[in-house]
Amino acid sequence: MTTDKCTNVIEKCIDLKGSENCDDANMVDISISKDVLVIGAGSFGLEAAGKIAAQGYSVSVIGVKTACARQSGCSSEMLETGKVNIMQDVAIDSLAGVTGDFRAVLIKTAGNGTGCNETGCSEKVEKVFGAIVVAPQYSYSPLNKKYGLTLNDKVVSQSQFEAMLGDSESQKKILNSNNGNGSTVAFLTGFAQEGDPTLTSRVLTSALAVQNMENCNAYIYAGNVKVGAKGLERLFTQGRHAGVVCFKPSQMPTIEQTSTVEQDGNCDHKQVSETIKITIKDPVVRTDVELTPDYIVVEEALVVGQQNLDIASTLRIDADLYGFLPSNNVHRFPAKSNRDGIFVVNNSADAANTALKLKELIGNGIKKVAANKAKVDEDRCVICLTCYRSCPHGAIFWQNGAAAISQVACQGCGICASECPMDAIQIGDFTDDSLRTSIKDAVVSAKDNQKDGQPLIVAFCCKNSAFEACEAATQFGHEMPQGFRMVKVPCAGKVDVEFIMKAFVEGADGVMVAACHEGNCKAERGNIYAKWRVNEIQKRLEKMGLEKNRLIFTTIASNMAKEFAGKVNAFAAAIQ
């Protein structure tokens, strides 16, 4: 029996790489479709399509408007592959299947995104794809209302102003305001929203352009100047040297937009003139600083749009708090979504990374994977859909009247196995039996080493975080109680109520469930399931008249060795 504090359960071929180390008998060949669907025909969608097609895969690009149609994104390199099929005004209607064998229903849209027009609804086509790439297309919306402003020909959005700068007639107007004496242009940014470097870059570029026009002056009113991207600080400095004035008041400036109607005797002939006054408090000179610009340029917000939300829900991929894809999880960076085989491309680096990851996933169309990552006992399955709903990777489908698990998409987290009310699912390297044995062994080993008066502690440790931290704590010699042992689990989401109770029954004085921090779980929600279960058991322990603090839930990262030891020691002290 091992006396290591961190008992390492030998990992079998979990992560598919280095197949030479794997027992071929446990491997199975799965064919993966070499067709790839790209949703979103903007320039990054097309860039991804070109890079993927160059690897020899057939790519279908769907979107309402294509960058090709706008003449701005179809490289000859891409078109020459003959592997890219651009389907304009086509949308995804539904998606079934799993990684390697996605069944997408595509629908011709009437340009309105619905597939229907006055003459009826168009036909649907089902196509099989090995992988899917989403290149979200966001739009901009002006934030004038937040400043109490109404848009007109003097109060314009950033996009409108950029269009004016690009148009010679409008440029002349800007030059000739004030009877040919040039214009004063004020930019408002970072008060109605935080903003980001992309938006700042647009403001700085426009402001510099204004400043370089004869007799024109640019003023920027900014919350925070977001120069955190390549070249922006230099651009900002260049602007200031050219004479662009930047105010950074601590609060949104006061803006008065007043229009006066002047009548010149002729009732049909009204002259409407508008004045806009911006006022801020200058903290240094302690007076109000007023400006009456000829133009006000208002910042814009990036808008997710219903279309992107619909795509995310159709594909069953998670978005971040604001609806932007993908969800905010460091383990997915760059370009991965919570579903293996579905990628999100937001920029050029994402496109290249996606092409690489796709090549790794699809290869030559045959993938060797471990056959026993997760298995459903068909006789026990009652098709209650619990596993389908709880699987964070979308790896579960239906076959022969029972749930089936894609060995390609499955990540072996075991959330489904723990949630299954029929106990019909077993995880290859962490079967219920093997975990029961690990728990028993851990307690027995702890008893053998436990010092008098010290508590016996069993910690269920996620292999991605707490297990790594525990091993490092041992290796770096951080002291932990002699009676401490850990049980490695594939994800805290695999820690069943039964296992926690078993640890107590076997003789543990305290049980710790150590998961990844919220938002860091490779299985998206495994840590949340674990926390729920711990809370539930704590309630039960209390009802049974037992001390609920003998069971704790904690979160930790793989690189927190010292903190891990600290948590174990604190727990030991608390229950002693």
Partner 1 sequence: MDNQTKKVLILGGGIAGLTAAWELSRQNISVELVEKSCFLGGHAIGFTCKATDKCQQCGACSVEDMLKNVVNEPLINVHLRTEIKELKKSAKFNITLTKSDIELPDSQIKNLPSGKAAKGFSKYNNPLYVTDSDKDKMGSSCQITADAVIVATGYSPFDPNRKSTYGYGKWKNVITGLDLENIIRENGSLVRPSDGQKPQKVAFIQCVGSRDERLGNLWCSEVCCPYAMRMAGTVKHDNPNADITMFYIDIQNSGKEFPVFYEKIKQNIRFVRTIPVDIYPLENDGLELRHMAEEEGSPSSESFDLVVLSVGIMPGKDSGKLSEITGIPVNQDGFLDNEISCCPCSSSAKSTQASQPSTSSQSASSIAGLFVAGTAKGPAGIAASMADAGKTAFEAMKYLGVIK
**Residues in 500-559 at the binding interface with partner 1, rule: CB under 8 A:** 516-520, 555, 557-559
Candidates 198-206, 265-273, 422-430, 505-513; binding stretch for partner 1 (CB under 8 A): 198-206
8 Å CB contact between 529 and 494: no
Q: What part of residues 365-424 is at the interface with partner 1 (CB under 8 A)?
A: none
Q: Strands (DSSP E) along 355-424, which ranges?
A: 366-370, 374-376, 396-399, 402-405
Q: Does 197 bind partner 1 (CB under 8 A)?
A: yes
CB 249 within 8 A of CB 242: no
293: preceding bond cis by omega (within 30 degrees): no
User: 490: which DSSP letter?
Assistant: S
Using CB under 8 A, pick the residue from 185, 255, 355, 457 that binds partner 1: 355
**Any idea what the Cα angle at residue 473 is, between residues 471 and 476, rounded to 5°?**
105
Strand order in the sheet with 484-489: 484-489, 457-462, 510-515, 551-555
Judged by beta carbon, residue 77 or residue 126, the one nearer partner 1 is: 77
Q: Give me 371's structure tokens.
A: 């056959």
* Window 75-134: residues binding partner 1 (CB under 8 A): none
Min separation Cβ 520 and partner 1, Å: 4
Q: Strands 551-555 and 510-515: what pairing?
A: parallel
Q: How far is the CB of 127 from partner 1 (least distance, A)?
A: 24
Would you state the structure tokens that stand for residue 416, as one six-digit string? Answer: 């489904």
Q: Which of residues 215-254 bind partner 1 (CB under 8 A)?
A: 222, 224-235, 237, 248, 250
How many residues sit close enough to partner 1 to count as binding (CB under 8 A)? 89
Instruction: Residue 336: name the closest of 265, 414, 284, 393 by CA.
Output: 393
Q: Is residue 299 close enough to count as binding partner 1 by CB under 8 A?
A: no
321 part of the interface to partner 1, by CB under 8 A: yes
- Please report how close the Cβ of residue 417 comes to partner 1 at its closest, in angstroms: 24
Quick check: helix, strand or coil at residue 391? Answer: coil
Restricting to residues 135-164, name those near partner 1 by CB under 8 A. Answer: 137-140
Residue 276 or residue 472: which is nearer to partner 1 going by CB?
A: 472
Cα(first)–Cα(last) distance of the chain, in Å? 26
Do the Cβ atoms of 111 and 64 come closer than 8 Å?
yes
Residue number, 111 or 228, with CB nearest to partner 1:
228
- Position among 126, 290, 320, 423 found at the interface with partner 1 (CB under 8 A): 320
CB of 327 vs partner 1, minimal distance in Å: 9
Q: Which of 126, 153, 167, 194 binds partner 1 (CB under 8 A)?
A: 194
Q: How far is the CB of 344 from partner 1 (least distance, A)?
A: 10
Question: Site for partner 1 (CB under 8 A): which residue of 5, 34, 202, 485?
Answer: 202
What pairing do the DSSP bridges indicate for beta strands 101-108 and 90-98? Answer: antiparallel
CA separation for the pair 411, 395 (Å, rounded): 8
User: Could you tell me the smallest distance in angstroms from the CB atom of residue 248 to partner 1?
Assistant: 7
Residue located via tokens 């076959």 = 399
Please state the closest distance from residue 360 (CB atom) to partner 1, in A: 5
Q: Environment class of residue 14 by beta-carbon count within 10 Å: exposed (0-12), middle (13-18) or buried (19+)?
A: middle
- Residues in 441-480 at the binding interface with partner 1, rule: CB under 8 A: 465, 468, 471-472, 475-476
CB of 322 to partner 1, least distance (A): 7
- Cβ–Cβ under 8 Å, residues 493 and 525: yes
Going by DSSP bridges, is the β-strand pair 300-303/510-515 parallel, antiparallel, or unpaired? unpaired
Residue among 160, 193, 431, 454 that touches partner 1 (CB under 8 A): 193
Shortest Cβ 276–partner 1 spacing (Å): 25
